[in-house]
Amino acid sequence: MPKHGKKYSDIAKSYDLTQVYEVEEALALVKKNAKAKFDETIEVAVRLNLDPRQSDQQIRGAVVLPNGTGVTRRVLVFAKGDKVKEAEAAGADFVGSEELVTKIQGGWFWSSILYPGFNAVVVIILSCSMGRFANSSKEAFRGGLFGGILFGAAILAMNLGLLANIEAVFDKSVPTLVLADAISPIIGIVFSVIICCGIYTTTVPMLWGVTRHFAQDGTKKFVLIALGLTALGLLLGMTNFKTLVNIIYPFSGYAGVILFGFIAWREVQGVRAKQKHRKTTQKSQVHLESLRYR
């Protein structure tokens, strides 16, 4: 005999196993003996003496709860043409095609802002670190200009391809890989290798660029910071890909937008400082000229 606890023993004494209770009385007894902190479940077993192997003796049904489950469900349907009216007649809350993709992703406006913001975090970190090794400011400017133009052209071509096939890739985790595999399975394999190489060639320079802001190359502090950031990257990399895209990437985008704001504010302050310095210099020159003629 298993040994039961005090609560179980007290509940077992509150009813008689040999007695048949009415439904109302049984429910009242169940509510009285409910001791858990969550909503407990009542199971009902009915013996109907049916053979479930026979198709004409199977019983299936559905029960609509009077107060529901407390969760409001909304149905969204991607459809075009006549299917739109069919979905609306069936009770769908939202019906559409491409325009719904941006709607469920937070809106095209914020997406258009956060995407450049996310890239700004990556580009500024690399540019600031690599720009230190440029031979001149002109060389750094030309490298950043041409690199930005080529990078923007590649992103534009990729996004145009995604928009042209939005119905096939809108719910995929890596839509560019889906497009490459649709062209040819061999191209899909090659592109997957390119993605892995791209992740490596992006992660390593970013790790180096961030670490270089806190320590010099080759020092013990540099190695410790690099190891810590690597461990953090591995931890974040273990998260669900959709969580990574929907939470961490937008957070980086907001950080990029804030960074843009600080850069713009710094530029405005620099222009004002130059104007103030120019006016002060002009006043000093005028004062010196007046003293000379005296």
pLDDT at site 277:
78
The tens digit of pLDDT for each residue in 245-269 reads: 666 666 766 766 776 677 678 778 8
The answer on pLDDT for 214 being more than 60 is yes
**How far is it, in rounded angstroms, from Cα 173 to Cα 110?**
20
pLDDT (0 to 100) of residue 217: 79
Q: What is the mean pLDDT of residues 54-82?
A: 75
pTM over 0.85: no
Q: Which pLDDT value is given to residue 113?
A: 60
CA distance 231 to 244: 16
Per-residue confidence (pLDDT) for residue 82, from 0 to 100: 80
Chain segment 136-160, per-residue pLDDT in tens: 777 777 877 787 788 778 878 888 8
Q: Supply the pLDDT for residue 288.
A: 62
Terminal alpha carbon distance of the chain: 118
pLDDT band of 221, cuts 50, 70, 90:
confident
Pick from 62, 167, 100, 246: which is nearest to 92 by CA? 100
The rounded distance, in Å, linking the Cα atoms of 19 and 272 is: 92
What is d(CA 169, CA 177) in angstroms, rounded to the nearest whole number?
9
Split at pLDDT 50, 70, 90, the class of 126 is low
**Res. 168: pLDDT tops 70:** yes
Cα–Cα distance measured from residue 287 to residue 282, given in angstroms and rounded to the nearest whole number: 9
The one-letter amino acid at 187: I
Predicted confidence band of residue 273 (pLDDT cuts 50, 70, 90): confident
Confidence of residue 70 (pLDDT cuts 50, 70, 90): low
Decide if pLDDT at 240 tops 80.
no
Instruction: Please state, rounded to an integer, the average pLDDT across all residues of the chain.
Output: 76
